[in-house]
């Protein structure tokens, strides 16, 4: 019984992990959520929260979590101008998110170097 449940959970995990890529390929519309996961945590932490939880593409907001409380934080205008949605994620918003991702990683690297290599 446990083995069957374990196998079913493994199969479900595999499908959930693999499914978004073929759907993106079929639709021709990139999935921007994937680009936000690495940098979303950094942005939430720089905004004073623990971690990134959910992205609201219709309002260009990240939902950041502090323990059990969640707060929405808007992405910068350079990524998502006011009044614009990122749903669907076309190449232009996808490029803006990639630049945002690169910027967040540079900021994190710079802060780690400054804080960890102090004389």
Are 7 and 56 contained in the same domain?
Answer: no
Q: Which residues contact 55 (CB under 8 A, 6 or more apart)?
A: 32, 33, 36, 40, 61, 62, 63
Number of folded domains that form the chain = 2
Read off the pLDDT of residues 20-51 as tens digits, 9 standing for 90 and up.
444 444 444 456 777 787 799 999 999 999 99
Q: pTM of the predicted model, to two decimals? A: 0.67
Q: Which residues contact 87 (CB under 8 A, 6 or more apart)?
A: 57, 58
Residue 119: pLDDT band (50, 70, 90) is low
Are 61 and 5 contained in the same domain?
Answer: no
Are 62 and 36 contained in the same domain?
Answer: yes
Are 81 and 112 contained in the same domain?
Answer: yes
């Amino acid at each position: 019984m446990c083995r069957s449940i374990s196998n079913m959970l493994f199969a479900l995990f595999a499908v959930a992990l693999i499914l978004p890529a073929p759907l993106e390929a079929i639709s021709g519309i990139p999935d921007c959520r994937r680009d936000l996961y690495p940098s979303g945590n950094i942005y939430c932490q720089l905004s004073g929260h623990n971690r990134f939880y959910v992205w609201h593409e219709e309002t260009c907001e990240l939902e950041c979590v502090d323990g059990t409380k969640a707060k929405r934080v808007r992405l910068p205008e350079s990524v998502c101008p006011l009044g614009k949605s990122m749903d669907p994620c076309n190449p232009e918003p996808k490029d803006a998110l990639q630049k945002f991702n690169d910027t967040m990683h540079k900021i994190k690297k710079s802060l780690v170097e400054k804080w960890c290599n102090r004389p």
